[in-house]
A and B are shown apart, each in its own frame.
Chain A
Amino acid sequence: MRKRARVARNKGGNHGFNSNDFISRMPDDILISILSRLPLKEAATTSNLSTRWRYLWCQTYCLDFDANEKLDKIAVDSKLRVVERPKYINWVNRVTRQHKGPTIDDLRICFDLDKTSKCAIDKWVEFAVSKRVQKLELDLLENGEMLRQTPRNYVFPIKIFDRSSGLTAKRPALTFPKTVSVKEMEIKSLRSLLLKCVNVSEDTIAKLLINCPALQHLSIHGSGDLVNVKISGKYLALKYFEIVFCFGVKSIEITDSNLESFSYLGPGITITFNNLPKLEEISIGEGYSGFENNVFGQISCCISHLQILTLDIYRPEENIKFLSFPELPNLKQLILKVGAWDDDSLLEFTSLAKACPKLQRFVIQLIWMSPAKRRRKIRQVGEHPHKHLQLVEIVGYYGRTSDVELAVYFIENAISLQKIIIDPRYQVLERTPIGNEQMKKEKAARSCAKKQLEPRTTQGVELVIL
């Protein structure tokens, strides 16, 4: 061996490690673990480091086919989609074909794809299942940010998950021993399924819950085909369930389950909850006012043990003043997402905070619809100590009188207040880059916040302006 050249350079396949190259000497599984933490492109470029590294990236655990840059470009010029779509599909096809590792943890598809790409996407889902994927995400929003007309959506290939259906005459050549039980057909690896603009039916959900006993997280956005959703069963592993903007849904019924977190955003529907002792986190927004259909009545069985509540109130109604909220005895975090119109007072929302004796964190996120600054006096409302409230966040602070009013209310009333965070940025995440108008508004909002709040902040309260 001494006769060989010092550092083998021109012989492929000979691992001539430098004496100082510690990293290449590490076992495969450690290097693969490191590569799995890199974005896919970067992991693939390591194939060029040396022969030792050439095929390691093919065993990565994480396949995140992120194409955000391309989607941003398409948002500006939608004609680009014609060219970019097949490129994306080819990319995923190539990488999944080259993949050598026995398992993957994550597969994420994120692109504007619809039912015309059914063949390709079906294959990717089959690939994921065969590699015992734990987290599968199909994010197929139109242009990467909008909901598609549901008849054009890709339909979730439940057949891949419903193994028992594979025993039918469809593939007579397959010999399944008759003793194979349903349990062996289960897909034990899947823990998390996130679907955006993928059509899912009630039957699909039922089959998923039966065939994937480890499924903890199910999130469905923008699906057609769902009308009456029912989830029930103490044996279910499901902890987190989310339905967002599925416009055909009329009712959601969840009973006798160990669900811990529920989220719904969309038109007003019938929600029936029963016997959900672990449900501690709810995020809800029904209809334009957020309060259609008597939301608090619908979730009443959980009110006593609720810890975190998020309310989506697109168009706060006038009558919000008169709605009486039940007491939420154990609520620690209250998060309100509110449309900001004109200079409507936000003080009504303090009555929600007052109904939560143990509240520690209050967040109001203002979505700038048509905010305007009006000159008027700052109003006061009834005092309340808010004994446990330590953190208040006003996100989307515009600088209106109503914004100042709310901040001042908490500074003056919350006796345990430690920190107040003001975020003056535009809250809607869009793909088209922020225009100058928007930047000006944010700058103005930031300086308003400084001017308005710095002099009013009391000792012991930390004011953070982002």
Chain B
Amino acid sequence: MSQTVVLEQNAVETQSITLKFDGCSSDANPSPIVNPENQSITIKFDDQASNHHTIPVSIPNVDSETEAAVNEFLRKHGSSDEESVRTDAMNDLWSFIERQEIGTVVVLVKFASDVKNFELLEIFCQRVADVIAKKTVEEVREIFNIANDFTPEEEQAIRDEHRWAFED
């Protein structure tokens, strides 16, 4: 099995996000999206190399460093039953992921979920959580480019409803 994650920003407007994994495609975004306005993201899994037995993880548009690090982790982690080797591999991946831009981490989360590698998913999700923690709502919106689509009344209503969360 071989997958490649290609991240492109198309000028062409498309209605949905298609994930092709090993040749079969599926509409892999079950969340209730009303189509995005201008640009869209296509995450393609290039299945050209599907006859190979190894899984090189390459994410173009990003440092080949990312690819190398994830590969190295997978190799090291799977290479030994010894606790210390696996912990070292884990620690290496951690220090690597902490140096990455958040956009890369988000893409990695999705990838880990799609290939169902729960160890990777655990690490990447935890990293995203660490980035969100201790930041204000405005700061989080900025980091992840989340658009605030609430009316001011709605925002206030939410703050009132969960006052315990918003007070210090």
Binding site for B on A (CB under 8 A): 1, 4, 6-12, 14-28, 30, 33-35, 37-42, 44-54, 91, 94
Contacts and interface: CB of A to CB of B under 8 A. Distances in A.
A17 B36 contact: yes
A20 B38 CA distance: 11
Nearest to B122: A33
A238 B32 CA distance: 43
Nearest to A52: B31
B47 to A, nearest CB: 21
Contacts of A1: 35, 37
A38 B125 CA distance: 11
A464 B41 CA distance: 51
Contacts of A7: 37, 147
Nearest to A28: B31
Interface in B119-168: 121, 125-126, 128-129, 132-134, 137, 140-141, 144-151, 154-155, 158-159, 162, 164-166
B126 A50 contact: no
A428 B164 CA distance: 31
B128 A23 contact: yes
A24 B17 contact: no
B91 interface: no
Q: Among B129, B137, B147, B158, which residue has the most Cβ atoms of chain A within 10 A?
A: B147
Nearest to B131: A34
Nearest to B126: A37
B37 A6 contact: yes
Given A38-B132, A41-B165, A18 B31 contact: no
Given A22-B107, A49-B146, 5 more contacts: A8-B37, A28-B30, A38-B129, A48-B159, A91-B164
27 contacts: A7-B37, A9-B147, A9-B148, A12-B154, A14-B34, A16-B149, A22-B107, A22-B110, A22-B145, A23-B106, A23-B146, A25-B17, A26-B29, A26-B106, A34-B132, A37-B125, A40-B165, A44-B162, A45-B166, A47-B162, A47-B165, A49-B137, A49-B148, A50-B146, A50-B149, A52-B146, A54-B158
A50 B147 contact: yes
Contact of A49 (B110, B141, B154): B141
B34 to A, nearest CB: 5
Q: Among A22, A27, A28, which residue has the most Cβ atoms of chain B within 10 A?
A: A22
Interface of B: 9, 17, 28-41, 103, 106-107, 109-110, 113, 121, 125-126, 128-129, 132-134, 137, 140-141, 144-151, 154-155, 158-159, 162, 164-166
A73 to B, nearest CB: 13
B37 to A, nearest CB: 6
B18 to A, nearest CB: 12
Contacts of B34: 14-16
Contact of A21 (B109, B147, B154, B155): B147
Contacts of A26: 29, 31, 106, 109-110, 113
Given A16-B147, A41-B165, A91-B164, A25 B33 contact: yes
Given A16-B36, A44-B162, A25 B41 contact: yes
Contacts of B38: 6, 19
A19 B39 contact: yes
A35 B165 CA distance: 14
A48 B125 CA distance: 20
B119 to A, nearest CB: 14
Contacts of B33: 15, 17, 25
B146 A14 contact: no
Given A22-B103, A25-B17, A25-B41, A50 B148 contact: yes
A19 B150 contact: no
A420 B107 CA distance: 43
Contact of B149 (A8, A28, A38, A45): A8
Contacts of A40: 165
Contact of B151 (A10, A34, A42): A10
Contacts of B151: 10, 12
Contact of A19 (B9, B103, B121, B166): B9
A180 to B, nearest CB: 35
Contacts of B147: 7-9, 16-18, 21, 50
Contacts of B109: 26, 30, 34
B149 A34 contact: no
Task: Give me the 9 closest cross-chain CB pairs, A-B, nearest first.
Answer: A44-B165, A37-B129, A20-B145, A19-B39, A21-B145, A18-B145, A22-B106, A48-B137, A23-B144
A320 to B, nearest CB: 36
Q: Among A6, A20, A54, which residue has the most Cβ atoms of chain B within 10 A?
A: A20
B165 A30 contact: no
B102 to A, nearest CB: 8
Given A17-B147, A22-B107, A27 B164 contact: no
Contacts of B165: 40-42, 44-45, 47
A50 B33 CA distance: 13
Nearest to A53: B146
B162 A18 contact: no
Contact of A14 (B106, B137, B149): B149
B9 to A, nearest CB: 7
Nearest to B10: A19
A14 B137 CA distance: 19
Nearest to A36: B129
Contacts of A10: 149, 151
A5 to B, nearest CB: 8
Given A8-B149, A11-B149, A45-B166, A21 B128 contact: no
A27 B28 CA distance: 8
